[in-house]
Homo-oligomer: A and B are copies of this chain.
């Protein structure tokens, strides 16, 4: 029998304004509330220090990038140390001149920073110009890439946002012994889409991640921002009428942060419109029991998977 290993996990969902100090304060308030309510592991949303600046392409935005450790991790580490909690934070990282990353930083109470994950899959579509800003995370000879981070509460499969759509990433973290998967996120609606399309998109976002939980027998949590953020510079792509949207007004981030268990069952879920701190206790020792009943890892056809390393089989 595996000894129970309950982890009380909190997600801090909030809106962001143009005022970085205010955003940081919201984050710190959320961490404190989560700690007061008994959380030992706290997941923050993607790029919680600022507006989601990737709505446009501007070199001015690089001024916000910071080192790891740096001011944001310093503030969070101080509070995490006081509370004795593990925090997964999100930082626009300046690694070198011309090398910036979208990074998740794991801070383990008084131990400080115990690991950094650099977003591996980088999106780029209208409103999400991430390839302009972020160098993809490294992987070489088995180093970095999809590598869990060990903490006092467990082995964390930390990834970031766009990674959450890739079953490969969830599988690799599971095979490396992650206890649960954690995704800081920034995703929302384009207001020119109709209600049905919006519903399909949010459902798809939740469903594909619950799918990772099920396929791997592992809890999954995603923390998303909330609220409307106007587009800094509306763009009309003249000459591409068939596919370009009308001038984008901004993104309405859909919140809906959630925690799912290893059968994909929803344990806690935030609303679409308001700041909130949600909690659930997940017993990660149950992963093994679930995998004994649904032994997918036993039956993978390694001999027939080699084409997963190809772009296309055509």
Q: Which residues of A contact B (CB under 8 A)?
A: 1, 120-125, 136, 139, 142, 145-146, 162, 165-172, 175-177, 200-201, 203-204, 207-208, 210-212, 214-215, 242-243, 263-265, 292-297, 299-314
Instruction: Establish whether residues A300 and B307, one from each chain, have CB atoms under 8 Å apart when the complex forms.
Output: no
Chain B residue contacts of A215, Cβ below 8 A: 165-167, 208, 211
Q: Which one of B165, B264, B305, B307 lies within 8 Å of A296 (CB-CB)?
A: B165
Given contacts A167-B211, A168-B308, A176-B314, 14 further A-B contacts (CB under 8 A): A165-B215, A165-B294, A172-B313, A175-B308, A175-B310, A175-B311, A175-B312, A175-B313, A177-B314, A200-B265, A207-B214, A208-B215, A300-B311, A306-B309
CA distance A168 to B310 in the complex (A): 12
Chain B residue with minimal CB distance to A216? B167
Chain B residue with minimal CB distance to A167? B167
Chain B residue contacts of A176, Cβ below 8 A: 307, 313-314
Q: A212-B211, A314-B177 are in contact. Are A145 and B203 (CB under 8 A)?
A: no
Chain B residue with minimal CB distance to A165? B296
Chain B residue contacts of A310, Cβ below 8 A: 175, 302
> What is the distance, in angstroms, from A100's C-beta to the closest C-beta of chain B?
18
Chain B residue contacts of A167, Cβ below 8 A: 167-168, 170-171, 211-212, 215
Q: A200-B263, A264-B204, A312-B175 are in contact. Are A165 and B214 (CB under 8 A)?
A: yes
CA distance A212 to B200 in the complex (A): 15
> What is the distance, in angstroms, from A285's C-beta to the closest C-beta of chain B?
15
Instruction: Establish whether residues A304 and B208, one from each chain, have CB atoms under 8 Å apart when the complex forms.
Output: no
For the complex of A and B, 10 pairs with smallest distance between CB atoms: A211-B211, A167-B167, A139-B304, A176-B313, A145-B304, A208-B214, A175-B313, A204-B214, A200-B263, A208-B211
CA distance A312 to B172 in the complex (A): 9
> What is the distance, in angstroms, from A113's C-beta to the closest C-beta of chain B?
23
Q: A162-B299, A203-B264, A308-B171 are in contact. Are A293 and B208 (CB under 8 A)?
A: no
Max chain B Cβ within 10 angstroms of own Cβ: one of A122, A170, A293? A293
> What is the distance, in angstroms, from A149's C-beta to the closest C-beta of chain B?
14
> What is the distance, in angstroms, from A217's C-beta to the closest C-beta of chain B?
10
29 contacts across the A-B interface (CB closer than 8 A): A123-B299, A139-B304, A145-B301, A162-B299, A165-B215, A166-B299, A166-B300, A167-B168, A168-B300, A169-B301, A171-B308, A172-B304, A172-B308, A175-B311, A175-B313, A176-B307, A176-B314, A200-B265, A207-B207, A207-B214, A208-B214, A208-B215, A208-B264, A210-B211, A211-B211, A211-B212, A211-B214, A306-B309, A309-B309
Chain B residue with minimal CB distance to A205? B214
Instruction: Establish whether residues B242 and A1, one from each chain, have CB atoms under 8 Å apart when the complex forms.
Output: yes
> What is the distance, in angstroms, from A238's C-beta to the closest C-beta of chain B?
19
